Amino acid sequence: MALAATRATPGDSEFDRDTAVKARPGEPGTYDLDLSPGWVIVSAVNGGFLLAAVGRALRAELAQDDPITITGHYLTASLPGPAVIRVQTVRTGRSLSTGQASLYQFDADGNEVERLRVLAGYGDLTALPDDVRTSATPPEMPGYDACVPGNDPPAGGPIIGSTALLDRLDLRLDPATAGWAVGAPSGVGDMRGWLGLADGRDHDPLSVLLAVDALPPTAFDLGLSGWTPTLELTVHQRCHPAPGPLRVAVTTRNLAGGLMEEDAQVWDTKDRLVAQSRQLARAPRVPSRPRPDA
Question: Interface residues with a second copy (CB under 8 A)?
Answer: 68-69, 71, 73, 75-76, 90-91, 96, 98, 100, 114, 117, 119-121, 125, 128-136, 188-189, 222, 231-232, 234, 236, 238-239, 253-259, 261, 272-273, 276, 278, 280, 283, 285
Nearer to a second copy, 121 or 241 (CB): 121
Q: Quick one: 6 or 135, whose CB is closer to a second copy?
A: 135
| Closer of 4 and 188 to a second copy (Cβ) | 188
- Residue 131: CB minimum distance to a second copy, A: 6
CB of 85 to a second copy, least distance (A): 16
> What's the closest the beta carbon of residue 27 comes to a second copy, in angstroms?
21
Separation of alpha carbons 65 and 256, rounded Å: 37
Contact between residue 254 and residue 226 where contact means Cβ atoms under 8 Å apart:
no
112-123 and 66-74 beta bridge pairing: antiparallel
Cβ atoms of residues 277 and 237 within 8 Å: no
Q: Which is nearer to a second copy, 46 or 279 (CB)?
A: 279
Cα within 13 Å of Cα(279), Cβ side: 29
Q: How far is the CB of 146 from a second copy (least distance, A)?
A: 26
- The phi and psi torsions of 39 (rounded to 5 degrees) equal -115, 20
**What DSSP element (H or E) covers 54?**
helix 47-61
Cβ nearer to a second copy, comparing 164 with 231:
231
The residues, ordered by sequence, that sit 6+ positions from 9 with a Cβ below 8 Å of its Cβ are: 201, 202
Q: Compute CA distances 110 → 75, 82, 83, 106, 107, whole Å.
A: 18, 11, 11, 5, 5
CB of 181 to a second copy, least distance (A): 21
The rounded radius of gyration (Å) of the Cα atoms in the chain is: 18
